[in-house]
Amino acid sequence: MKTFWLAGTVILAAAVLGFSSAPPPPQDAVTLESVLKKMDTMAATFRTAQAEFEWDNYQRAIDEIVDVQTGTTYYRRSGKDIEMMAEIRKSGPSATELKPEPKYVLFSDGKIKMYQPRVEELRVYDLGKNKSDLEGYVVLGFGGSGQDLQKTFDVTYGGPETVDGIATARLELVPKSEKVRNSYNKMILWIDLDRGVSVQQKFLTPQNDYRLCKYSGIRLNGKVGDDVFRLKTTGKTKIISAGG
């Protein structure tokens, strides 16, 4: 269960610039198959991605957003694997009450590393045999193909929607894994019809809580230095091995 809770933390999976300069198809011509094919095209040439994010966490029990986090996320393909770094710069109970609170989440080499420089603490989660499962969630919209999406989820087309002025196709996902469904029983992707990538994501729990991920200032296949994927720990940093 812990592994998939962590997946909720690092699933950014989201909005990257696409490759096609062709206009999007008419919305009445969009099908599930055409959206997945567009995602396949995006994945075939994916190398890196960078985006600004806002993550909103909502709790149904009190009917309000309880935490908002903002920052920058980076992805890159490393061989057959995808690496991800999230730099969380601010957090707070709402978008108008954000305060500086630097945190870093790195997914690389089958491990999740969560670093809090303010308290000099680094937690390391070795995913072990769960690595490949988690990576399927991490690459949602960041290098993941439509074919791979169907291996992990039952996917249905929910119709067209406009998100921040962008014409998108709404895809509704039900995890095939029962273990995952215990944490997130439904996920929604809004796929840019022009670029074949997700510009917004929503992860819903059985308790009707949700995590909404929104992205902006997006770059695809630009240069992302190796130092981005290094945690700037110090000699005072306490390392905690949290298992998988």
φ/ψ (deg, to 5) at 79 = 65, -125
Q: Where are the domains of the chain?
A: 2-241
CA atoms of 163 and 91, how far apart (whole Å): 23
Cα distances (Å, whole numbers) of residue 66 to 63, 95, 172, 208: 9, 10, 24, 14
In terms of Cβ atoms closer than 10 Å to its own Cβ (0-12, 13-18, 19+), residue 102 is: middle
pLDDT of residue 110: 85
Q: 2-241 belongs to which CATH class?
A: mainly beta
For residue 179, CA distances in Å to 14, 126, 133 come to 23, 18, 11
Report the alpha-carbon distance of residue 134 to residue 24 in Å, rounded.
Answer: 31
How long, in residues, is the chain? 244
- What is the identity of the amino acid at 171? L
- Can you tell me the distance from the alpha carbon of 81 to that of 142, in angstroms, rounded to the nearest whole number? 12
- The pLDDT of residue 1 is 45
Distance of alpha carbon 22 from alpha carbon 211, whole angstroms:
32
The pTM (predicted TM-score) of the whole model is: 0.82
Do residues 104 and 91 make contact, with C-beta atoms less than 8 angstroms apart? no
Each residue's pLDDT tens digit in the chain (244 positions)?
A: 444 434 454 443 332 323 333 445 565 689 999 999 999 998 888 889 899 999 999 999 999 999 999 999 999 987 778 889 999 999 999 989 999 989 999 998 888 999 999 999 999 998 777 766 666 676 677 778 899 899 889 999 999 999 999 889 999 999 998 988 998 999 999 998 887 888 899 999 999 999 999 988 878 889 999 999 999 999 999 999 976 5
